[in-house]
Chains A and B, each alone.
Chain A
């Protein structure tokens, strides 16, 4: 059994899977059930000032479904906690007492003045929570009131509020970032400069799910009107992974620990986040779609993976970061060609038609009058489109050319690396 015990900023939990601050962590009842199911920690649903906010009593969620009604993407317009602060604090205190081995972090969202932070944070810390997460991410509702993403989109505000939080708190402070920015690096750098102990990302993405095809209004609505929500679930994972990797590989930000969030559904998603630099992960949508029981596969799958790979959790963290670089550093002398395994091919022809219609006309449809799909090396640029659309896993693979000439360019395969920075076509190329 691999050791999944995690210490993130000194906050220990039996596994790296925390529930993100969201409806699943709204109250003691839910968090108790989560901890009974085996979750390593929970970031309590975001606390705010009293009097507490109110939520709509209409649809708060909607989903992007596959035809099998599998939830691929998810959207919400729920705000922060809509219960009195004291109720939350009482319950948090009890939970921490009942579950001392689990991580309990308080998410907070407060207006932009220092006194408020100085007043609320000690009050919250007094419950025994292990840390704070500053919600600078929610893109709907609260951002209209100058909080959430409205803070997260301005690096100066992030730094300012982080400094206030650090002054008022004695436990670690995590800054939760919004993805609704052009680059994630300035906000991450601001959090670091403000003294944050870690960043967590991503929060949800501005989104409208669709229109109602009968009423031709947006969908869903509250009494005929709707508003953009925050998008999450499996569909957002690639966006989150890029932002995590950017922070992890950039000199200015790479020192800050990361809690990865965004579409984590099974253990492989956790491997993605951790290998790209996250020290632990937070989950919300998958739990909201399937219930807390998914923790079984998350823990078990990650454990088995680490055993198979003979890796410790610490060794996994950041393992893939060195493989992420800028386009300009990719080796332009490297050549791959697609190869179709004829024994596995089911003759659907998808590879042919997508290559023919949208790419490089590099896959046959007939050979000697017979239906036959085969890569034409002289046309194949190695783009991986056919691999991506082939319905049979493993049927088409990319194989490196290591010798001879590239039949497409006629140029000899070179073992030397050469990238855009020195390429003759690059007017800005570096010369020695």
Chain B
């Protein structure tokens, strides 16, 4: 069928399409929250509908990212390796006191860093994806969730590569995995969920004010040292309290236990963190939808 024929047939179809069957939307100053069921329905439909677009965007970013680079996938685990090398160097040379860890120290740092990076990348990715996609959805009616989903796709891809590295590191340092080792995946998933939930919640204010992404960057850099990533939880003092209040402490400790010991004492806390993160994530997605027209309006100027 030629192009003109296709057009003609589509014109025919349109003519046969009575107006009564068409969807109707109304825009006014009324809040989207006045009809919560409708809002949730809209979010559900949009998320389902944008999955194809999210996949295409994910694919686009992945290809574009590595096409311009010689070292390619190395950049995914280079930051993790840097942390491991830095801290192994610092402790082995006694510049920093060495820590008593139950698995070889480099492996210990590697596990911690992989989990921490899952959290910190998930924390910064939603706002970064939203900002990068804003050029498109400020002009066209496209679900911004597609860009955020594509960002999570990228996180999942990076994590897969790092997990493969983790397996290599465990073999290299002869870490005997426990039967619960596959649960490390749950730990990483939870770190991503928690980071992602906070990240999505930060989108509205972060898209308006550039300060937010800078503050997040600083908090993430400092937060790593309030989490048992490169050293264990301090035995006492107010720093211990800080560690204990940090949910990522639980996630990292539980994941390390699962890797080399067994189920450990952290399961109830992990379930609580998972529930809270899921709820935060949901609230973030809903708020983003409600605030979106205002963000588009103000970002567009």
- Chains A and B form a bound pair: no
**Chain B interfacial positions (CB closer than 8 Å to A):** none
**Chain A interfacial positions (CB closer than 8 Å to B):** none
